[in-house]
Homo-oligomer: A and B are copies of this chain.
Amino acid sequence: MIKVGIIGGTGYTGVELLRLLVAHPEVELAVITSRGEKGLPVSALFPNLRGRVNLVFVEPDDTLLKGCDVVFFATPNGTAMQSAPALLEAGAKVIDLAADFRLRHAEDWERWYGMPHACPDLLAEAVYGLPEANRAAIRSARLVANPGCYPTAVQLGFLPLLEAGIVDPCSLIADAKSGVSGAGRKAEVGILLAEAGDNFKAYGVPAHRHLPEIRQGLAAVAGDPLDLVFVPHLTPMIRGIHATLYATLTVLDTDLQSLFEKRYADEPFVDVLPPKSHPETRSVRGANQCRLAVHRPRDGKTVVVLSVIDNLVKGAAGQAVQNMNLMFGLPETVGLEGIALLP
């Protein structure tokens, strides 16, 4: 059994991690911490876990955490970098669901996240946890930076095109739509039901923190220069990301459907739909799955890729468990076989 600790865990990635780990046959949930909710039973905060999780939130405690085989950080940005070095030192593996270890260069991180990085030396060691791109490195990693939700959906859609070298890497557009759980479980007027319900809007068009993360991941494949326009939108639903991706083809005679199917043939969690399909976010609701469709409208020069994930599963907690499975030599799909809830 893998002894697991969770730091943070009062947010949506936290409750989703708990839902998945409770049902994972190789996991023993040892400790979950929260300064704000210490003393509160987990199931009092998340009633879906009544009768299934008997843990109580405790204050972060080094002794308990250092005794874990793996520690998940489900914390705000800037927290994991404070504690990760000591945990790694003590022999625990670390999976950070926040952004602390996603960018390879400390100066990039500091510019986009507005604070100095507490352990820039670990950035070189940290492995970006997108298994479909970095599986081998993840297997041997001590420290995994779990990708952001938008970056997961966008990279999985663009990767086959960039790897094949058939699109102009300076023509990329990612028009992405997210459910509101992506904004987290925090008291903010803008994500109230009375504000975000029955409403649609873009946000962060001038700049969004997921842009450098996506750019870094894609440039690792395509090289530089690479140019991406990224426009996120808030859509009135709870879970789900739909990324609509555009690129200009430089090679026009590729069988795009076949390219995508081959690229993901062995991937347990990426599903390429038949030609002319339109994936729906609900088809992955609650499941660790990305579903893709590729189109070339009117046989023009623009390829359109449609990519859907559940932002809390393949976009966060599910991918974190997938990474844990890899890091501990387990079959990659253990504990992640849940079928999406539809309707």
A residues bordering B, Cβ < 8 Å?
12, 15, 19, 22-23, 46-52, 173, 175, 177, 179-181, 183, 185-189, 191-203, 205-207, 227, 229-231, 233, 235-240, 242, 244, 246, 271, 273, 276, 278-287, 291, 293, 295, 297-298, 300-302, 304, 306, 308, 312, 337-343
Contact = CB atoms under 8 A, between A and B. Distances in A.
27 contacts: A12-B343, A23-B338, A47-B279, A47-B280, A48-B285, A49-B339, A50-B271, A51-B271, A177-B233, A180-B194, A183-B194, A185-B189, A185-B343, A193-B193, A193-B238, A197-B197, A197-B343, A199-B237, A199-B282, A200-B240, A201-B279, A202-B242, A206-B295, A230-B297, A231-B304, A246-B246, A341-B341
A199 B240 CA distance: 8
A187 B185 contact: no
Contact of A195 (B52, B286, B312, B343): B343
Contacts of A187: 187-189, 192
Contact of A341 (B19, B188, B281, B283): B19
A275 to B, nearest CB: 9
B194 A185 contact: yes
B181 A194 contact: yes
Contacts of A197: 180, 193, 197-198, 236-238, 343
Contact of A297 (B48, B192, B229): B229
Given A173-B173, A205-B278, A229-B246, 16 more contacts: A19-B339, A47-B279, A47-B280, A48-B339, A50-B283, A179-B198, A192-B192, A193-B195, A193-B238, A198-B240, A198-B282, A200-B281, A201-B280, A231-B297, A233-B244, A235-B235
A242 B201 CA distance: 7
A231 to B, nearest CB: 6
B304 A194 contact: no
Contacts of A179: 194, 198, 200
Among A240, A279, A302, chain B packs the most CB atoms within 10 A around the CB of: A302
Contacts of A191: 192-194
